[in-house]
Structure 1
Amino acid sequence: MVVPLLSDLPRASAAEDAIWGGDKGSVRFIYVGTHGAQRRLDVVLAGAVGALNAGANAAFVFVGGKPEEIAALRTSSGVQRWEGESRIRFIEALPRPTLPGLLGGADVGLSLVPATRINREMSPTKLAEYMGAGLAVVASRGVDLQETFMRDSAAGLLVPFDAQSIADGIGQMCADQSFLNDCKSYAENFAETRLIYSRYVSEFTAIIFGSEVSSFDGHSSTIDSDPER
């Protein structure tokens, strides 16, 4: 059982103006995580640039990159133009206690990774953190548990991992405020009912002592802690 639970941690009420620049009009998208080449943020940035070029009223913050990784991503087509207009911003790794403030000022979390064999089995902890902060999500297909969370929560959009599909998803979030607000509400509700540690105390106890438990998808199974039986 994989339980990526971060949603019942304290959250901040607003983002720092120094990060978002006090802009109140744009839909704010945030990515927090590794910027290594294997994460293919160049594709995500191509989607962001495509959406901005098409007229989406969006702003993007990418958090967690090393200086050399950010320098490489800045060479992607269109990035420096939109960075100059404060629509794309990069922030190096920050102390973890500052992250709730960033998430609290965003509207949409980006949980976009290539659909590789290794990624298919990954635990989408960042997705849970976005939902716990009440963010809508644009997430990529090809990660089994991520797809389950997105279908069960109705918290946003599942898109293929390619620049045009990402751009289209961003554009849809920006074009329909009612849809965006619904996704944010569904995300918070899902986090508060499905992604809190207290909900799984009985299942952890069952794993330790052995009894019938209900898995995340609702199916029952018996876990016996006594290897002799």
Structure 2
Amino acid sequence: MSNSVLASAEINKDENVIWHQHQVTKSERATLKNQQPVVLWFTGLSGAGKSTVAGALETELTQRGYHTYLLDGDNVRHGLCRDLGFSKQDRRENIRRVGELTKLMADAGLIVLSAFISPHREERSLVRELLPQGEFLEVFVNASLAVCEARDPKGLYKKARAGEINNFTGIDSEYEQPVEPEIHLNADVYEVSELVKQCIQVLTERSIIR
């Protein structure tokens, strides 16, 4: 099939795909769950503790009776994004897909916890723009490269230093720290339990949870 035919087919598809508005609304789903939907977007270097903190926070929220779902970077690449590599373009597409998924989950009335390195501010901003104001909370799990490399829970830094992994964030690929995250967690200093308390405090102050 020629490029012109493919382009034409893509245009026709866009013209004929129409958003279907369901009778049950986002507000009704959230009310049924007795909570405010929100996306907590955990970002930070590999080994900073994003998934660990997000998992502990989800456990705490679940024990309090809230409806949650945790999206983890590695888990998503086993299914939804398994066709993507780690080039700049593929990593951008990975975040785009996850962003659209978090939007749908928030529409279902859930508290969504999303743990991804997501190294570029622009990509994180694109996800923020998908959601209503106040429904996207950027959570910066801030641990220094030295600490993350010392932890190296998956042995990835060692492989990156040996040249076995290319485009590894913090080594040969940049990480852009959040400028004004809604939640800033100092993972170099505090234990996971304290970081969870800090998250709970912000969620309570914002009336997302009681």
TM-score, normalised to structure 1's length? 0.36
Higher relative contact order (CA 8 A, sep 6+): 2
TM-score, normalised to structure 2's length? 0.38
Structure in which a larger fraction of residues adopt strand = 1
